[in-house]
Structure 1
């Protein structure tokens, strides 16, 4: 992509990042190389005795030699199950089956053209980022639904599709810890780990301390405004100007258009939306009531164990399959069942490259987790920060930056917090900082670098989305697109938290800023 002429200093830096990043091996090969490095480094460090305590076991942390006979045979014997149970794989493929039908029959294209006809062009970016943030309620649905639609919306509106991918990715993943007033399954998960970490404190008051699952909901809701505004500015003023000379050279037959809707398309869209509305109504009616089968054992609909949350991917599949079929039959774009199956097959054929990458990514993540290398890095980093004994404000920023760094290697939000929180929460409680505030600092760092690490499980999928529009897109392309968002989020969100703390604003329900709580 020829973006090097007449570029500013920062744009030249991004161009360099893109060039160097795209010279890396193919993502599948890159994950295979990382796997080999994990084996070698784990062998090298397996004989070293570490004094650091693993909070998960209460024993000194130990690096597992992945080349040792037992570990190696465990790796080979679970190779297939590691691949087929790789969480993003099933999410992507099942959701794409329904989306494939909706796209093949023309339902998605017609729906977007209808929306764009009444939506001001200047508001597309903030609305897209807000939808990306809202998608957190549906677990990982934003990656397979919002991000590709972001590209479609921008391209259909005459804007660069990669800018749409960047804006949507920024909302879905960069703003992962922001919420639009609606909690996600991550809230109770992190709160539970925070409570366990807080009770490690020697303070007698910590033994009965209870952390509310919505202890950060006010802060994360306010953060959504920040993420939308910053993301809007970066997309329109930094990303799109840089993409002006980047040609869209994908298959013209697969790219959306913004032609005026024809009578058959309008008729098909009306019936399709009616069928989707009936699906939504059916879901609401069956979820209503305390005895609903959609509720979890705790009676909630949004807890991680609730069947509703565990069925999000299936719901996406149905909610796009049925309207897609209805649209196809009414509009005349799919007159028989063979056309429906063709749409599913076409969507799966486009996932071949992602499946290959997912295989190697799954094996690397398995080996990296089993080796304890990521856990060792997280614990050592947290202890080093503790030993520095910095002022409170600097320590909070230190937690953010430590988390952002560890996030480049350890993708799971709960796994990182289980390691870092067990050290940082009790330490800051001794300094008068509440577990709620420490958790808020962690969440800022956890989100900010999601969008620039190739080790994030969905990162290869986003590269595939980019290649649909710009064939030569690679890891470097996506990192260069997302780096301005990542840097801006990290710096401005950190400052936002410090101001929020200085003003004494409540972080969430049942939360405090100090420990013990000061009225």
Structure 2
């Protein structure tokens, strides 16, 4: 039988009225869901970008683009050349859309594991030994840890969060929101394991620092782990914040206002494990251990083909890091297939293909949204509108000349606003950092501290912007359990997390700075003025 997730209930004496905050979030959800379908919304936004680019292309700006060292200019996307380039790149914009391949390949392996019953049985086994009340912090922590595997958390942790919550008798959308908060809201945090983001941002920070007019700036070297202590400590703070928001605000509101109405045949079961299922799990576990052992043996040698040219495994250039999605596919395919044969849930290879096909059929809506999202992101990037906003915001912050603490808050807020329009962390930092790092160095603020402030703002609003490439996918996950879920539903779910992270994480950074705790390896808070 399916788990008992109650439908929305009427207001009674036993079920008190919603709080003002819950009513406000319900209003956000209603308004958001009145927006056009996400695919059409991206198409309309693309047209708006075209019109703005045409209108603003004749304007002259004195602001210097740090990428070209020339005054920034808005490109007219309605010119003949721009339209021809757009048409010729329509297919490659779509096929080159980074999240598309990640999602589809990972879902092939997950589809087999789900179709054979491996995921369902595995989660039921986990739930049998895990306290229901601890699901939230564990899920958020796993979401933060998933950053080591680049974007794996979006296609792995978030849907499994919904399954775990539903199977435990909790609201599945609360599982999605908690997992999303860990994966994306805590994107800049890490549990004592460096992520690929660390060297990427540090490299851009070093380039930006060397743009300073200080004669000694050319010799500045930024350690890739310059924010490591801060981001590691931040992980615990994010888990505690996310736990409180989920259990005290999000799930109570969902139980009062949002009924689960997904297809019962597609929702997880909480029946006791049968003897066949236990045997299947045992064989699948053994097969996974053997496969993992063989893989580790291939990875460990110093001359392993999985290492980067410099011999590193965690570097962005290492084949291991580039193969994360392929590994997700394989390490769900193997136990899924072994479980299926051992438990008797599949009989032949045709059932394996059926599982993959079923997973792809469920991705049809996402593929349509991804097409329009890819075209919008291409147009927005080509127009330079986002870059103009970032540069104008940084210039304003410079002109205000606030005290250090206020400047750091301004840096966080600037980044959080720009983050609503530019999804790529590296693209934002390449724009903002080239201006803010050398500017704040002149105020005695180190590049390490500026980068830390950027990371706080960059993560806090990831979860409320529909322009984040994986946002449409999360909407699809929600619709599996609540058919009427839309953009407004997800924004209303994530807005409390975003505000809590923005306030709490900024205060945490200011506390770190005020108390003088080390930010990371070789990092400092102060840049010595000449």
1:242–1:155 CA distance, 2 compared to 1 (3 A): same
The 8 Å contact of residues 442 and 529 in structure 2, kept in 1 or not, is answered as no
CA offset digits 1:389-427 (Å, max 9, x no partner)? 111100001000000000000000000001111111111
Write the mapping of 1:93-172 to structure 2, written as runs, cut at 5 A.
Answer: 93-172=104-183
Q: Is 1:429 aligned with 2:429?
A: no
The 8 Å contact of residues 211 and 438 in structure 2, kept in 1 or not, is answered as yes
More divergent stretch after superposition (426-435 vs 398-407): 426-435
The 8 Å contact of residues 100 and 343 in structure 1, kept in 2 or not, is answered as yes
Q: Is 1:358 aligned with 2:380?
A: no
Write the mapping of 1:83-102 to structure 2, written as runs, cut at 5 A.
Answer: 83-102=94-113
Q: Is 1:221 aligned with 2:228?
A: no
**Within 1, Cα distance between the matches of 2:56 and 2:306?**
47
1:4–1:433 CA distance, 2 compared to 1 (3 A): farther
Write the mapping of 1:258-297 to structure 2, written as runs, cut at 5 A.
Answer: 258-297=270-309
Write the mapping of 1:413-424 to structure 2, written as runs, cut at 5 A.
Answer: 413-424=425-436
Across the aligned residues of Structure 1 and Structure 2, the Cα RMSD in angstroms comes to 1.2
The 8 Å contact of residues 434 and 517 in structure 1, kept in 2 or not, is answered as no
Tell me the residue number matched to 1:28.
39
CA offset digits 1:100-142 (Å, max 9, x no partner)? 0000000001110001100111111000000000000000000
The 8 Å contact of residues 173 and 481 in structure 2, kept in 1 or not, is answered as yes
Query: 5+ unaligned residues in a row in structure 1: which ranges?
Result: none
The DSSP-based 3-state class of the residue aligned with 2:262 is coil
Say how many residue pairs are matched.
518
More divergent stretch after superposition (203-212 vs 150-159): 203-212
1:196–1:129 CA distance, 2 compared to 1 (3 A): same
The 8 Å contact of residues 181 and 494 in structure 2, kept in 1 or not, is answered as yes
**Within 2, Cα distance between the matches of 1:283 and 1:277?**
10
**Alpha-carbon distance, 1:298 to partner:** 2.4
**Alpha-carbon distance, 1:516 to partner:** 2.4
1:39–1:98 CA distance, 2 compared to 1 (3 A): same
CA offset digits 1:332-374 (Å, max 9, x no partner)? 0011001000000000000000000000000000010011110
Write the mapping of 1:382-461 to structure 2, written as runs, cut at 5 A.
Answer: 382-461=394-473
2:93 to 75, 82, 93: 82
**Alpha-carbon distance, 1:2 to partner:** 5.8
The DSSP-based 3-state class of the residue aligned with 1:456 is coil
Write the mapping of 1:438-517 to structure 2, written as runs, cut at 5 A.
Answer: 438-516=450-528
Q: TM-score, normalised by structure 1?
A: 0.99
Query: 5+ unaligned residues in a row in structure 2: which ranges?
Result: 1-6, 12-16
The DSSP-based 3-state class of the residue aligned with 2:255 is coil
Tell me the residue number matched to 2:76.
65
**Within 2, Cα distance between the matches of 1:457 and 1:283?**
31
**Within 2, Cα distance between the matches of 1:248 and 1:4?**
15
**Within 2, Cα distance between the matches of 1:39 and 1:355?**
23
The 8 Å contact of residues 400 and 445 in structure 1, kept in 2 or not, is answered as yes
1:244 to 249, 255, 259: 255
2:324 to 284, 305, 312: 312
**Alpha-carbon distance, 1:70 to partner:** 0.9
Tell me the residue number matched to 2:60.
49
Runs of 4+ in 1 over 4 A off after TM superposition: 1-5
**Within 1, Cα distance between the matches of 2:273 and 2:362?**
27
1:230–1:3 CA distance, 2 compared to 1 (3 A): farther
1:348 to 360, 366, 377: 360
The 8 Å contact of residues 281 and 339 in structure 2, kept in 1 or not, is answered as yes
